[in-house]
Amino acid sequence: MERRSRHQLFRLPDITAMKQQQLPAYQLHFSATMVFSIFFAAGIFCLLMGIFLILSARSIQKVEINYTKTCGNCAKLREDAFNHGKICTCSIPFVLAKSMQGNVFMYYKLYGFYQNLYRYILSRSNSQLLSKDLKAVEDCAPFKMSHTEIPFAPCGAIANSMFNDTIILSYNLNSSIHIQVPMLKTGITWRTDKYVKFKNPGASNLTDKFAGTAKPPYWPKPVYELDPDNPENNGFLNDDFIVWMRTAAFPTFKKLYRRLHRIHYFIEGLPAGNYSFNITYNFPVTKFQGEKSVVLSTLTWSGGSSLFLGLAYTVTGAMTWLASFAMLAIHFMLKQRKASTLQQQSKALKGQS
């Protein structure tokens, strides 16, 4: 109201709060107590969160077995590319002291394998993987096509270097009875990958559909033989293949391999006892001084067994708390000093009068 009357008085071009920089505004000023309480609350939250995370991470059970050295003879064999026809198997026994409750997941883990190299990541053909054009291999250098100019399917460095060890977990009830632990090959990929980003050229008779393409040079068998038992899991739609195609962020990475099929003995998870991994060793890692291991792990709501998040929360919480107390101390110190100077002043005044 007052604004309008002034406006009329001066005959100015339109006066708005915006133009006069007088928009109603909330001035954000933190008082000492407010900052202190915010810090205090944040500290408590972080501490509680941290403890909770640590506890849940500790409840996880995990078995990790590095089989690079254990299967040294196989590793040696694989260093020479000419031996790719020879089959090398390796069995690694281990004891599970405590049963693993709930869902159990089996991972393979590679050390020193750079899935994040710039040229490696680029070396794939999305239109081929979508089966739009099986011959679209332009982006796939250096694994585009064979010497006879037949395009690879799938083409590219990523697909070519797919992890191809076979790992079978068997439960050894006693020295003679070995039960193969039932594992699920599916449900280990993102739904969106399986149903949107990867498509087979047809539902059935993949052998014909992939005619005119060659298998990638390092593969022992063509793409349509990845899982001959389950047509849903064959060709480009093979879960292991899709998992491999999602490139890892770091040179040391884990990829999901199998899930425990919870039936019979294993309805509660993996019971305690003797087990062994029966590995068909195909994937060469010693060439690039890498290693590989196999991991069995249970999960909670927050995923795997990393203590990092819990520890980070705890430390942050502690730091925040410390800071808040330091602030409080400084605040009181300053207040006291102010009070004492005031006192001095009043004394001085008294002295004068």
Give residues 144-173 in contact with another protein (rule: CB under 8 A): 157, 160-161
Q: CB of 268: closest distance to another protein in angstroms?
A: 18
Name the CA dihedral angle for 134, 137, 140, 145, rounded to a multiple of 10 degrees. Answer: 90
Alpha carbon distance, N-terminus to C-terminus of the chain:
52
The answer to whether the beta carbons of residues 239 and 188 sit under 8 Å apart is: yes
Amino acid (one-letter) located at 96: L
Q: CB of 323: closest distance to another protein in angstroms?
A: 6
Computed on alpha carbons and rounded to an integer, the radius of gyration of the chain in Å comes to 33
In the numeric block, the tokens 């020879």 are attached to 86
Q: Based on the shown chain and the rule CB under 8 A, indicate whether residue 334 belongs to the binding site for another protein.
A: yes
Q: Based on the shown chain and the rule CB under 8 A, indicate whether residue 1 belongs to the binding site for another protein.
A: no
- From residue 278 to residue 307, the character string flagging contacts with another protein as x (rule: CB under 8 A) and all else as - is ------x--xxx-------x-xxxxxxxx-
How far apart (Å, rounded) are the C-alpha atoms in residues 167 and 171? Answer: 13
Three-point CA angle 298, 299, 302, nearest 5°: 160
Q: Which of 146, 164, 247, 276 binds another protein (CB under 8 A)?
A: 247
DSSP assignments along 283-325, one per residue: ---GGGT-EEEEEEEE-BTTBS---HHHHHHHHHHHHHHHHHH
How far apart (Å, rounded) are the C-alpha atoms in residues 275 and 14? Answer: 84
Site residues (CB under 8 A) for another protein, limited to 11-30: 11-13, 15, 19-30
Q: CB of 347: closest distance to another protein in angstroms?
A: 10
Q: Based on the shown chain and the rule CB under 8 A, indicate whether residue 272 belongs to the binding site for another protein.
A: no
Site residues (CB under 8 A) for another protein, limited to 71-130: 81, 103, 105, 107, 109, 113-121, 123, 126-127
Q: Which of 35, 92, 168, 179 binds another protein (CB under 8 A)?
A: 35
Q: Based on the shown chain and the rule CB under 8 A, indicate whether residue 67 belongs to the binding site for another protein.
A: no
Q: CB of 45: closest distance to another protein in angstroms?
A: 9
